[in-house]
């Protein structure tokens, strides 16, 4: 299950299950429900996410586009080795700023 937290003016979403065809819709719904107003500043914490499949990658790109259309941005934090490889091999990783931990990702919005 994924959960939503607020770190100052930045929204952080974290979970410990795969982002795949079974979970991507629920995760997107959770995030979009919280992005109703203002310029989104979103960090997706991937530290405990074991895997991202093609549906998950598509969801990430769609959410990034939603954030950008609203004048904000979405950043990724702490992907494990497998998720990092998936992001790089598919070229999806080049579409995001990826940080080693949530603190760095949240802090990047202040710069």
- Token reading at 66: 């939603």
User: For tokens 């991202």, what's the residue?
Assistant: 52
pTM: 0.94
Residue 24's closest CA among 47, 58, 73, 75? Answer: 58
What confidence score (pLDDT) does residue 111 get?
A: 76
Q: How many whole angstroms separate alpha carbon 97 and alpha carbon 81?
A: 16
Question: Domain residues for 28?
Answer: 2-108
Read off the pLDDT of residues 65-111 as tens digits, 9 standing for 90 and up. Answer: 999 999 999 999 999 999 999 999 999 999 999 999 999 999 999 97
Q: How many domains does the chain have?
A: 1
- Token reading at 97: 């700023």
**Is residue 5 scored above 80 in pLDDT?**
yes
What confidence score (pLDDT) does residue 8 get?
A: 87
| Strand-pair partners of 73 | 41
Q: How many whole angstroms separate alpha carbon 14 and alpha carbon 102?
A: 10
What confidence score (pLDDT) does residue 33 get?
A: 86
What confidence score (pLDDT) does residue 54 get?
A: 98
What confidence score (pLDDT) does residue 79 get?
A: 98
Read off the pLDDT of residues 25-71 as tens digits, 9 standing for 90 and up. Answer: 999 999 988 886 778 999 999 999 999 999 999 999 999 999 999 99
Q: What is the CATH number of the domain that holds 98?
A: 3.30.750.24
Read off the pLDDT of residues 12-25 as tens digits, 9 standing for 90 and up. Answer: 999 999 999 999 99
């Amino acid at each position: 299950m994924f959960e939503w937290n607020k770190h100052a003016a930045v929204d952080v979403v974290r979970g410990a299950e795969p982002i795949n065809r079974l979970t991507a819709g629920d995760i997107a719904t959770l995030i979009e429900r919280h992005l109703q107003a203002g310029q989104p500043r979103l960090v997706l914490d991937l530290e405990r996410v074991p895997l991202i499949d093609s549906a998950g990658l598509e969801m990430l790109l769609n959410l990034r586009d939603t954030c950008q259309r609203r004048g904000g941005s979405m950043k990724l934090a702490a992907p494990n080795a497998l998720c990092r490889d998936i992001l790089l091999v598919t070229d999806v990783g080049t579409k995001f700023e990826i940080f080693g931990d949530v603190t760095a990702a949240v802090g990047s919005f202040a710069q």
